[in-house]
Structure 1
């Protein structure tokens, strides 16, 4: 048999060993890459577990925050209601106070309508209500020119000086007539 030049030559044992060594090196390299991928998979699973825990924690915080916000809103509504009631009560009390002021002013004017205030009547160092009444009667006769008979007939519930005594100043005299007609 004759050899043909077109046939591929058979690889030698050394070529096959070299070829197998290269394939073995590539397989080792792929094994290392698979190990790295396995490690990455484990890390991803760990991160995934951590993310699930964080998600659960955030969900729990969201529930608690929502509940607290609901309670705050309820309290705010309650406070708003109480404030509205307080404002209404204050308004009512202010109206009542204004009415009482009017009533008090009326009562004061009614209780004082029988009063007569006289000024610039000299005051003695030691003066009692009887002395003050006598000085008032003298003033009515001497200065106001009312007859002695009329002044003697006038009856007073009370005659007194107003305020506290100050040296060198005469206090006003308040005379409360028994009858308004006499005033």
Structure 2
């Protein structure tokens, strides 16, 4: 068998070159591994941040639900308070623009109301004498201004505080309120008393009632609800 040629054996230069190429590949692999490790860390950090965001979103959603529940509870509580207040003043009527006399006492105010019911609301004196009031008083503080000679009737009326009359019996209140139609065209008015928030809403609703009637639709207000053609309007 023929012997191997010396030219078939790798020289030292070949070995050195081969080792150099292997070293370069190892370095490239090491760089690639480091880039992969860095990328994995970024992915891990990103995943952690996503979990934090998810956690924050969950907490925010929970907070929103709690706030919505509190808002509903607050609205319900306000409705309950308004209802209780309405019941407490259920027997009340407000008499407006009735002239106020000097040094008017509560007893005098009651006398003025009784005379007004007879003369202006056309309720018989016998019926009015039988009515019982729990309290009759002027609203607010007395204004010390006196009407000047150049004052208009509207300006003078504004100086007269309204009268709140609390009837002992609801039937008597309704008798008087029902006769308030006799005040049409006069400067006087008689109206039910409501909590401030309900009264403000009713004023807004009555503007809508006027618009609906101009459009030839039946509309009215009951307590704090607008009715159009017999149906309650929730968003009024």
TM-score norm. by structure 2 comes to 0.47
Give distance in 1, aligned partners of 2:81 and 2:138. Answer: 24
Aligned to 1:21: none
Deviation at 1:173, TM superposition (A): 0.9
Alignment of 1:31-70 (within 5 A): 61-70=38-47
Partner residue of 2:99 out of 122, 133, 144: 122
In 2, Cα distance between the equivalents of 1:84 and 1:99?
22
Equivalences, count: 144
Residue 94 of structure 2 aligns to a residue whose secondary structure is strand
Q: How far off is 1:111 after superposition?
A: 2.5
The Cα offsets for residues 115-145 of structure 1, whole Å up to 9 and x where unpaired, read as 1111121013433433322221222233224
Evaluate the alpha carbon distance shift between residue 57 and residue 158 of structure 1 in structure 2; reply closer, same or farther with a 3 A threshold.
farther
- Shift in alpha-carbon separation, 1:182–1:66, aligned structure 2, 3 A: same
Deviation of 1:102 after TM superposition, in Å, equals: 3.9
Q: Does 1:81 align with 2:58?
A: yes
**Cα displacement string for residues 41-98 of structure 1 (whole angstroms, at most 9, x for unaligned residues):** 8xxx8xx97x899768756654543343222111111111112222322333333344
* Structure 2 equivalent of residue 171 of structure 1: 161
For structure 1, the 5+ residue unaligned runs are: 1-40
Mapped partners of 2:131, 2:115: distance in 1: 13
> Which has the larger share of strand?
2
In the alignment, does 2:145 pair up with 1:155?
A: no
Partner SS for 2:170: coil
Higher helix share: 1
Cα distance in 2 for partners of 1:125, 1:74 equals 76
What residue ranges of structure 2 are gaps of 5+ in the alignment?
1-19, 146-155, 174-236
3-state DSSP class of the match of 2:166?
strand
Q: 1:180 aligns with which of 142, 166, 170?
A: 170
| Aligned counterpart, 1:93 | 70
Structure 1 stretches of at least 4 aligned residues deviating more than 4 Å after TM superposition:
51-61
Q: Partners of 1:124 and 1:71 in 2: how far apart?
A: 79
